[in-house]
């Protein structure tokens, strides 16, 4: 459920008509609903209430906006970060260092040191080499780094190939059949407090079965490791639960997910860690855009909007679907291709889509844009870096200013030998 609804024929975010935001801030602009974010955070947390001991670390990569992180910190969420930049954001939002999980396949030495010095709660090790390096850095500082070992369970998540992470050929984690031996060697290092295992097989999963299979494999490994005399107190189950992008699609609910987790992990006797991203932020944001022009095409007209693949990359990268709705629909429908202004054909949001009739100057939204939207934006074609707004009831505020091409140009230099 979200709070983007038609009221008197005009699409609103909570109690704010979207044309008011477009008039004040311009387009394209991401619009987040505070009530929706809060609701998703609470529904997910409450669903996990059936589990005895857990910690939820929001996957910052899905939406790293400072206001979003602040809201989730207030809801008791920690953070799952994958770079020094994300770590600094989580800390700046007031998240407790011990509630931060540091994931990522290529943490640099500087990032590991910063994480140690900040006292972050858990390092998710992606290789034996990383564990050895972290252990040495921690020991030099008289510390023991809390860590878990990420395992690649070789399970097909049945999602888009570019967001699958749990097959043997993917770069993530250590191979399943080598994991127990690696765990044993790393656990012996004085600089590490190796306390468990982690898994994350992919994102936007529409079916919980592959996750259940991966968790069960992780549980078997946990028993093997305990059998070898090690203590396992924490198991990190990652993120990955998908959300419906098309009106009418049905996805597993947080309750379904929690029931599955409870079934698999019932006798584990550990603190479970979760790293949800999209399920919290996905449906809490839309990308508000304006129709620039409608031009005839061979099969259908092209609706050219002022948002492009640099603002919302998912359709170009993963052929992702985002519902497209007119902000003031007149009840008529048309079939059209929806495209942005960028000079390549991948700048296409939809082909031959049945949509509300729109004309030049009309406002429209791409829905379910709160996750992996603004965070993946860039400035290709020297376009601005997209702005972000958060709505709260009848109030709204800019939570990320649009960064103009002039500011980016001002950061560039021509070497004197080119003058
Ligand atoms: N934990 C780890 C280790 C991850 O790699 C990810 C996502 C998450 C948690 C959060 O997954 P979520 O709950 O959001 O599915 N840009 C792509 C998605 C990439 C996901 C990367 N990892 C997209 O737009 O679909």
Read off the pLDDT of residues 148-176 as tens digits, 9 standing for 90 and up: 999 999 988 888 888 888 888 889 999 99
**Count of CB atoms situated within 10 Å of the CB of 153:** 26
Give the pLDDT band of residue 236 (cuts 50, 70, 90).
very high
**Selection from 318, 314, 312, 326 nearest residue 377 by Cα:** 312
Closest residue by CA, ligand 1 atom 19 = 163
Output the pLDDT for position 362.
Answer: 98
Mutate to test the pocket of ligand 1, among 80, 161, 239 (most ligand atoms within 8 A of CB): 239
For ligand 1, whether the C-beta of 111 sits within 6 Å is no
Average pLDDT over residues 284-312: 98
pLDDT average, residue stretch 367-390: 98
Cβ of 314 less than 6 Å from ligand 1: yes
- Examine the pLDDT at 187 and tell me if it is beyond 90: yes
Domain 34-279 maps to which CATH number in 1.10.357.10, 3.40.50.1370, 1.10.3480.10, 3.20.20.10? 3.20.20.10
Determine the residue of 59, 166, 257 to mutate for testing ligand 1's pocket, defined as the one with the most ligand atoms within 8 A of the Cβ atom: 59
Question: Does the CB atom of residue 204 touch ligand 1 within 6 A?
Answer: yes
Q: What SS3 string covers 96-148? A: CHHHEEECCCCCCHHHHHHHHHHCCCEEEECCHHHHHHHHHHHHHCCCCEEEE
d(CA 378, CA 307) in angstroms, rounded, equals 12
Q: Which pLDDT value is given to residue 144?
A: 98
User: What is the full DSSP assignment across 149-206?
Assistant: EEEE------S-GGGB--STTSSSSEEHHHHHHHHHHHHT-TTEEEEEEE---BSSBS
The answer, yes or no, to whether residue 135 has pLDDT greater than 90, is: yes
Domain coordinates in residue numbering, the chain:
4-32+282-410, 34-279
CA 233 / ligand 1 centre spacing (Å): 24
Cα 240 to ligand 1 centroid, rounded to whole Å? 6
Give domain 4-32+282-410's CATH number out of 1.20.930.40, 3.40.50.1580, 2.40.37.10, 2.120.10.30. 2.40.37.10
Summarize the confidence of residues 282-310 as an average pLDDT: 98
Nearest CA to ligand 1 atom 9: 239
Q: State the DSSP string of 13-82.
A: ETTEEHHHHHHHH-SSEEEEEHHHHHHHHHHHHHHGGGSSSEEEEEEGGG---HHHHHHHHHTT-EEEE-
Q: Is the pLDDT of residue 419 over 90?
A: no
Determine which residue's CA is closest to atom 6 belonging to ligand 1: 239
CA 118 to centroid of ligand 1, rounded, Å: 24
Q: What is the pLDDT of residues 260-287, one digit of tens each?
A: 999 999 999 999 999 999 999 999 999 9
**Whole-number pLDDT of residue 169:** 87
Instruction: Using DSSP, state whether 241 is helix, strand or coil.
Output: strand
- Averaged pLDDT of the chain: 97
So what's the pLDDT on residue 1? Answer: 85
For the CA of 240, the nearest atom of ligand 1: 15
Residue 309 predicted with pLDDT over 90: yes
Q: Which of 1, 110, 250, 343 is catalytic?
A: 343
pLDDT tens figures, 348-374: 999 999 999 999 999 999 999 999 999
State the Cα–Cα distance between residues 216 and 222, nearest whole angstrom.
Answer: 10
Q: What percentage of the chain reaches a pLDDT higher than 90? A: 95
C-alpha distances out from residue 122 to 68, 119, 143, 146, 272, Å: 22, 9, 13, 5, 12
pLDDT for position 192: 98
79 contacts 90 by C-beta, under 8 angstroms:
yes
3-state class (DSSP) for residue 286:
strand
Give 328's Cβ-side CA count (13 Å radius). Answer: 13
| pLDDT at site 164 | 87
Nearest to 41 by CA among 78, 73, 72: 72
Ligand 1 centre distance from Cα of residue 202 (Å)? 7
Q: Whose CA is nearest to atom 16 of ligand 1?
A: 372
User: In this model, does residue 25 exceed pLDDT 90?
Assistant: yes
Q: Is 228 a catalytic residue?
A: no
Query: Phi/psi class of residue 198: alpha, beta or left (left: φ > 0; alpha: ψ in -120 to 50)?
Result: beta
Our answer on whether the CB atom of 202 is closer than 6 Å to any ligand 1 atom is no
**What is the tens place of the pLDDT at every residue in 400-413?**
999 999 999 999 99
């Amino acid at each position: 459920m979200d709070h983007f609804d038609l009221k008197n024929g005009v699409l609103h975010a909570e109690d704010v008509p979207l044309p008011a935001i477009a008039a004040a801030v311009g387009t394209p602009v991401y619009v987040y609903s505070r009530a929706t974010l809060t609701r998703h955070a609470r529904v997910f947390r409450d669903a996990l209430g059936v589990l005895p001991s857990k910690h939820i670390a929001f996957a910052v990569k899905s939406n790293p906006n400072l206001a979003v992180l602040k809201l989730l910190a207030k809801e008791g969420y920690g953070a799952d970060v994958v770079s020094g930049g994300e770590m600094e954001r989580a800390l700046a939002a007031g998240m407790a260092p011990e509630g931060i999980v540091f994931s990522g396949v290529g943490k640099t030495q500087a990032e590991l040191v910063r994480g140690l010095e900040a006292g972050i709660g858990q390092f998710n090790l992606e290789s034996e080499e990383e564990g050895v390096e972290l252990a040495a850095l921690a020991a030099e500082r008289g510390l023991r780094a809390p860590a878990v070992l990420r395992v690649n369970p070789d399970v097909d998540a049945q999602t888009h190939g570019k967001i699958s992470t749990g097959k043997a050929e993917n770069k993530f984690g250590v191979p399943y059949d080598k994991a127990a031996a690696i765990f044993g060697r790393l656990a012996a290092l004085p600089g590490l407090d190796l306390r468990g295992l982690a898994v994350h097989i992919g994102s936007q999963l529409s079916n919980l079965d592959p996750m259940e299979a991966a968790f069960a494999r992780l549980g078997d490994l946990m028993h093997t490791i305990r059998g070898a005399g090690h203590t396992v107190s924490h198991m990190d189950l990652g993120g990955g639960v998908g959300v419906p992008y098309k009106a009418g699609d049905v996805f597993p609910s947080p309750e379904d997910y929690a029931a599955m987790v409870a079934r698999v992990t019932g006798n584990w006797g550990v603190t479970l860690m979760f790293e949800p991203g999209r399920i919290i932020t996905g449906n809490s944001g839309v990308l508000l855009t304006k129709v620039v022009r409608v031009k005839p095409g061979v099969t259908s007209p092209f609706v050219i909007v002022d948002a492009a693949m640099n603002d919302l990359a998912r359709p170009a990268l993963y052929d992702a679907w985002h519902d497209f709705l007119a902000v003031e629909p007149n009840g008529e429908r048309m079939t059209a291709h929806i495209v942005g202004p960028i000079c390549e054909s991948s700048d296409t949001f939809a082909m031959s889509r049945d949509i509300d009739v729109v004309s030049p100057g009309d406002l429209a939204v791409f829905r379910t844009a709160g996750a992996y939207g603004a965070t993946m934006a860039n400035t290709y074609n020297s376009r601005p870096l997209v702005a972000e707004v958060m709505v709260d009831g009848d109030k709204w505020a800019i939570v990320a200013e649009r960064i103009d091409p002039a500011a980016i140009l001002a950061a560039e230099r021509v070497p004197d030998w080119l003058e």
